[in-house]
Amino acid sequence: MNIVRTGLLLAAMTGLFLVIGFLLGGESGMLIALVVAIGMNFFSYWNSDKMVLRMNNALEVDAQTAPEYYNIVADLAHKAQLPMPKVYIIEEDQPNAFATGRNPENAAVAATTGIIRTLSSEELAGVMAHELSHIKNRDTLIMTITATFAGAISMLANFAMFFGGRSRDNPLGFIGTIAMMFLAPMAAMLVQMAISRTREYSADRGGAEICGNPLWLASGLAKIAGGAQSYENEAAEANPAMAPLFIINPLSGARMDGLFTTHPATANRIAELEKLAKEWGITSAGRQTRSSIPKIRRSSGPWG
């Protein structure tokens, strides 16, 4: 169902781009904006992972420098039949995590020191399984496609006065063009956020399947949501476009499952995971009936 909904939302983004392009700039304006936007997003597609990790001052770690965290990711990647991603830690008090990379062969996961301190081994496994599910589902690619169209729509809006506002074929007129300059990017943003929220539900379920216990992730989400309200993530606040990457919205002032949020409400996500656990016959976060992953041992690594 989530795949179908994502497909429909992508189709809506495509249709929105075509309609706005014709209304504002005709075929020539639409093609120019699309070419520029594709060029920008082509660069982002190949370099977005490095850019995001650099903006968050992420430090790559291995089995020697962060044994517990690294081994959790390794165990889950093996269970998910994924190549081992690069593993990063971010010096940040806000508990949060994200995945990045253009495909499973070129992927990375990152977790903050706050989340590693806050969560138990099982909860951390649930969170990292969620991030691996994003990688397995190629959600980064999906979001890159939506960003391409969103960028093209924004460019069309910026060029509206040059292409649409002065065109005899423009049915909107001057006032309509001005209105479209503001409404078009907003509409594109709404579709982009709707896709992001849909992928979060899908990754929650996929993460539960990877780690074997939905309640691990549910318990982790509850703790992360509380911590996210207590600590400000300065890197995310400075670059709000990164917000959809994180497992919990890192930005302040967006705690509801509303129209302009990048993530579903945490309570709704937890409810879905608890429902899934009931279907699987799992009654507690400490007991699991499906996972083949042994209980993860704590270590005395510098990040533990």
Angle, CA 196 vertex, CA 44 and CA 110 arms, to 5°: 60
SS (H, E, C) 283-303: CECCECCCCCCCCCCCCCCCC
Counting residues of the chain whose pLDDT is more than 70, the rounded percentage is 71
Task: List the alpha helices (DSSP H) in the chain.
Answer: 2-55, 67-79, 113-118, 121-136, 139-158, 160-163, 173-211, 214-230, 234-238, 266-280
**Which residue has better confidence, 259 or 231?**
231
Q: Mean pLDDT in the chain? A: 79
| pLDDT digits 0-9 by tens, 153-162 | 777 776 665 6
Q: Quote the domain boundaries for residue 212.
A: 40-147+186-280
Judge whether residue 105 has pLDDT over 60.
yes
pLDDT bin (cut points 50, 70, 90) of residue 125 is very high
Model pTM? 0.77
- CB distance 246 to 97 below 8 Å: yes
CA separation (Å) from 123 to 28, 116, 296? 52, 10, 11
Judge whether residue 261 has pLDDT over 70.
no
For the segment 14-18, the average pLDDT, to the nearest whole number, is: 74
Who's near 234: CB < 8 A, 6+ residues apart?
none
Total domains present in the chain: 1
How confident is the model at residue 254, as a pLDDT? Answer: 45
Is residue 8 in a domain? no
* CA distance linking residue 147 with residue 139, whole number of Å: 12
Is residue 296 in a domain? no
Active site residue 60: no
Element (H, E) at 89: strand 86-90
For the segment 87-112, the average pLDDT, to the nearest whole number, is: 94
**Which residue has better confidence, 107 or 164?**
107
CATH, residue 228: 3.30.2010.10
The residue among 136, 154, 121, 114 whose CA lies nearest residue 205 is: 136
For the segment 143-147, the average pLDDT, to the nearest whole number, is: 69
Judge whether residue 114 has pLDDT over 50.
yes
Sign of torsion over alpha carbons 271, 277, 281, 283:
negative
Counting residues of the chain whose pLDDT is more than 90, the rounded percentage is 40
How confident is the model at residue 293, as a pLDDT? Answer: 36
Is residue 228 in a domain? yes
Is residue 108 in a domain? yes
Judge whether residue 302 has pLDDT over 50.
no
Is residue 33 in a domain? no
Task: Give the phi and the psi of residue 99 in degrees, each rounded to 5.
Answer: -120, 150
Is residue 173 in a domain? no
**Which residue has better confidence, 296 or 273?**
273
* CA distance linking residue 131 with residue 246, whole number of Å: 9
Is residue 233 in a domain? yes
* CA distance linking residue 236 with residue 261, whole number of Å: 15
Judge whether residue 265 has pLDDT over 80.
yes
* CA distance linking residue 272 with residue 255, whole number of Å: 18
Instruction: Pick the catalytic residue from 131, 209, 232, 272.
Output: 131
* CA distance linking residue 112 with residue 95, whole number of Å: 6
Identity of the amino acid at 246: F
Please give the full DSSP string across 97-138, using - where no structure is assigned: EEEEESSGGGEEEEEEHHHHHHS-HHHHHHHHHHHHHHHHTT
pLDDT bin (cut points 50, 70, 90) of residue 45 is confident
Is residue 175 in a domain? no
